[in-house]
Structure 1
Amino acid sequence: MIQLLGIKKNTKVEIREKLSLSPRKRKEYTEELLKYFEEVVILSTCNRTEIYYRGNLKGEESLNIIFEILKWDINLKESCFYLEEKETVKHLMEVVCGFHSKILGEDQILGQIKEAYLTAIDLKSVNSELQRLFLEAITCGKKFRTEGKLYEIPVSSASIAVSEAIKNKSKKIMVIGYGEVGSLVVKYALSNNIEKLVLVVRNTEKVKDIFDERVVVTTYDEGRKIINEMDCVISCTSAPHLIIEKKHINEYGGNIIIFDLAMPRDIDDKIKEFKRVRLYDIDEISLMDDENKNLRKERMLSYKSIIENYIKEFFQWKNIREVSTVIKDIKNNSAKIIEEREKTLQNKCHDEKDLEIAKILIKSTSDYYVNRAIEVLKEEQLKGQGKECIKILEKIFLKKI
C-alpha cells in the first residue's frame, strides 16, 4: 500500500528545521528505508518534508521505523501527518499543482517533485506503483500549469523577496547560494534597475552562465566581509548550518533588509536585535501581501478537474494491474492451445498453403475471444466485480479438461 508521512502545513519554522533532511544524506536514508519498504521517494524542500513509501508495514509501525531511521525526535510526531493510499494520491496531485504551497500556486514545487523522483530513479528506490504515481503527478502538474496558464500570474518566494527588495529601493543586493532558488533570485533581481548584485557561492568557478557587468561572484568568506555594504541580502543555500551569524552584522550602519529562503535557516535569528536590520524567514515571506493571490486561487480552482482525472486514471491503472497476472496466464494458455492445435492440423494436412491459412484462422479466432475476455475482465475490475469475473474466466480459459 502507498503511504505518506509529512510535516503539517502550519508547523513553526523552528520545528520544521528539526525535521528537515540534508540532501547529502538522502541516499543513506533511502537505502535504510528500503530495508522495510518496497518503494521510497523523499521530497525535501525549504517548505516541505514528505516521505512517500509503499509496503506492507503501515500506520504507527511504519511511522516509528521512519522516525528511527531519520533520527527524528519521536516527541515531534504531533507535528506530522500520515495518509493512507487514497489520500496520499490526492495529496501528491494537489501538491504538484501548487495547492498546498505556502505561496499558493508557486511553480517551483513541480521541479522539486521531478528532482525527488529522478533521485529515486537513480537510487533504484521506485519500480512499480510509486514510480507510476510520480510519473502521473509530474504530467498532471505540467498539464495543470499549461492549460491553466498559471505562468501569466507568476509568483514564488524568490519573486516576492526581490519584489519587496525593490519596493524598499534596494540598489545593492547580495544573493547567497546559486541553486534552483538562487538562480531565480538572480534572474528576477537583474531584471530590475539595480546597481550591483553580489553572488556568494562556495565555489566561484562553477558560476559560468552570468555575463551581466553588475554581478560580482565571490566566496562565503569574502561575502561576509562586504555584507554590511548591502541594501538587501537574500539567502537560499542548502547548508545544514548558519551562513550569516550575528557577529557578521554591524550593529550600526544603514538599513539592511534580509530574506532567509532556506530550510534549515541560513541567517542567525539574533540579528533581529539590531534596529538597522529587518529579517524575514520563509514563513513571513509567504504571508506577504500578494496582489495576484486571489486571481491565482480562482483560476486554479476552475482547473481542478485535471487533478481529479489524473487521480481517477491512476486508480484505474492500479485496478487493471491487479488482474495482469490472470491476463498473462490467459494469453500464455491461449498460445499453448494454438500450438497444440497447429501440431494436430500439421499431422492431418499436407498442403502447406492450406496449413498456413488454417494457422492464421486458428490464431485470429483465439485472439478474438481472448481479447474480448480481457476487455470484459478489465471492465468488471473497474466496476469492483473483478474477483467474480476472474473465477469465471479461469474456469473457461485456465481449467484443465
Structure 2
Amino acid sequence: MLEKIHLLNIQTKSNEIPKRLLEMPGAFVLITCQRTIILTTTEFDSQDKALGTYHTSKQAYHFLLETICGLQSKLKGESEIVAQFKEAFANYLKEDIRSSVILRVLEKLFKDAKEVRKKHLVKIGQQSYAGIMRRIIQSKYETGDVLILGSGQLARDSIKHLMKKYNIYISARNPQKVQALIEEFPNVNIQTVKWRDFDSYYKFNSHVNTIGSNDTIFADEHFRGHCPNNSVFVDLGSPSAIQTEYDKQHGVYRLGDILNHGKVLNEKKTEKIDQAKLAIQDLVERRAKHLAIANTRAAI
C-alpha cells in the first residue's frame, strides 16, 4: 500500500504554492509555519517536484513519521505538530473526495507516532513553541493578564500553557472562532477584546501573537507605545505580521528567538532523538510489510 503514496514537501510560503497543488482531488494537505506537505496517490510531475523535496513509498511514510514526531522541525521533538496533523486530518475527512489509501496510511501514522513519542520522546515534546513562550513571559511576569492574538491552533496551545497562572484575553478577526475556542475551556474565564482595538491592547503587559500574515498587522507605532513600558510581545506568527526595529532587548520576541532558545535545548536531546529515529526506521519497515500483507489479502 505504501508504494501508492507520493509526498511533496515544500518549504515556502503557502501563498506562493500553485493553487492547483493545494486543491488536488483526494490529496491530504498539511500547512504549518515551516512547510506545506501534499500527500497524494498521484505522482507529481517534474515541474512540481522541483518546488520542494519529493518522497514516495516507504520514504514518504518515513518522512511523515519523522515530521509528526517533531524530528523534521527546527525545534526538535516539538509537540504542536501533532495537533496540526490532527486538525488537517479532520479537515480531510470533510472533503468530498478522499483516498481510502491515504486515510489508512494516516490512521497508521497516528498509531506509530504515538508509539515513538511514548517510548522515546515523552519529555522532548514539552519544549514547544507555546511552552518557550510561557517561559519568556514568566521571566518578567509570574502572573497577570495576557492578551492572545488569534484563534487558531497556536492560540489554543498558548491558552493551555498560560491558563494556570494568567488571566487570558483573546482578540481575533473571527468572532465565531473566538467563541468556539472559549467554549473549549469552560473552566477558564477567557475574556475577549475587540479586534484591532489598539487602545485596549496597550493596557496589557504581555502579548502573544499567533497570527501569520503577509500583511503588517502590528506596525512600528504600536511598539513605540508597547516597548518602553517593560512589556513582552511574543510573535509566533508565520509569516510574521509585525514590522518593527525593536527586538528581544526591548521585549519583542520573534520566532527566530524561540528557535534559538530551542536550539540550546536540542543539544541536550540528541541521544533520545537518535533513538527515536532508529525506532522510526524499524516501524516503517514493519508497517510497510503489514500493509502489503493486508493489501494482498484484500485483493484475494
Q: List gaps (5 residues or longer) in structure 2.
A: none
Bigger-Rg structure (1/2) = 1
Residue of 230, 242, 246 corresponding to 1:268: 242
CA 1:49–1:122 in 2, change beyond 3 Å: closer, same or farther? same
- What's 1:200 paired with? 171
**Given that residues 20 and 44 in structure 1 are in contact (C-alpha distance below 8 angstroms), is that contact kept between their aligned partners in structure 2?**
no
**SS of corresponding position for 2:78:** coil
**Given that residues 258 and 277 in structure 1 are in contact (C-alpha distance below 8 angstroms), is that contact kept between their aligned partners in structure 2?**
no
Q: Aligned pairs, how many?
A: 290
Q: List gaps (5 residues or longer) in structure 1.
A: 9-14, 65-76, 329-401
**Given that residues 77 and 124 in structure 2 are in contact (C-alpha distance below 8 angstroms), is that contact kept between their aligned partners in structure 1?**
no
Percent identity reads 17
1:232 corresponds to 2:206:
yes
Q: Which amino acid aligns with 1:182?
A: A
1:179 corresponds to 2:159:
no
TM-score, length of structure 1 as denominator length: 0.62
- What's 1:308 paired with? 281
Q: Which amino acid aligns with 2:28?
A: V
Q: Which amino acid aligns with 2:82?
A: L
**SS of corresponding position for 2:156:** helix
Write the deviation string for residues 185-208 of structure 1: whole angstroms up to 9, x where unpaired: 12322333x5x5432233254423
1:48 corresponds to 2:35:
yes
Aligned counterparts, 1:125-144, within 5 A? 125-144=97-116
Write the deviation string for residues 258-279 of structure 1: whole angstroms up to 9, x where unpaired: 22212232x322x225998443
**SS of corresponding position for 1:4:** strand
Residue of 292, 295, 300 corresponding to 1:319: 292
**Given that residues 223 and 246 in structure 2 are in contact (C-alpha distance below 8 angstroms), is that contact kept between their aligned partners in structure 1?**
no
**Given that residues 169 and 191 in structure 2 are in contact (C-alpha distance below 8 angstroms), is that contact kept between their aligned partners in structure 1?**
yes
CA distance in 2, matches of 1:292, 1:275: 19
1:33 corresponds to 2:18:
no
CA distance in 1, matches of 2:134, 2:292: 47
Residue 91 of structure 1: CA displacement?
0.5
**Given that residues 162 and 188 in structure 1 are in contact (C-alpha distance below 8 angstroms), is that contact kept between their aligned partners in structure 2?**
yes
CA distance in 2, matches of 1:99, 1:275: 27
Q: Which amino acid aligns with 2:44?
A: K
Residue 49 of structure 1: CA displacement?
1.3
Q: Which amino acid aligns with 1:163?
A: R
- What's 2:90 paired with? 118
Residue 176 of structure 1: CA displacement?
0.8
CA distance in 2, matches of 1:113, 1:205: 23
**SS of corresponding position for 1:33:** coil
CA distance in 1, matches of 2:31, 2:134: 24
1:3 corresponds to 2:20:
no
Asked which structure has the greater RCO (Cα within 8 Å, sep 6+), the reply is 2
CA 1:179–1:101 in 2, change beyond 3 Å: closer, same or farther? same
**Given that residues 256 and 278 in structure 1 are in contact (C-alpha distance below 8 angstroms), is that contact kept between their aligned partners in structure 2?**
yes
RMSD over aligned Cα atoms: 3.3
CA distance in 1, matches of 2:248, 2:285: 54
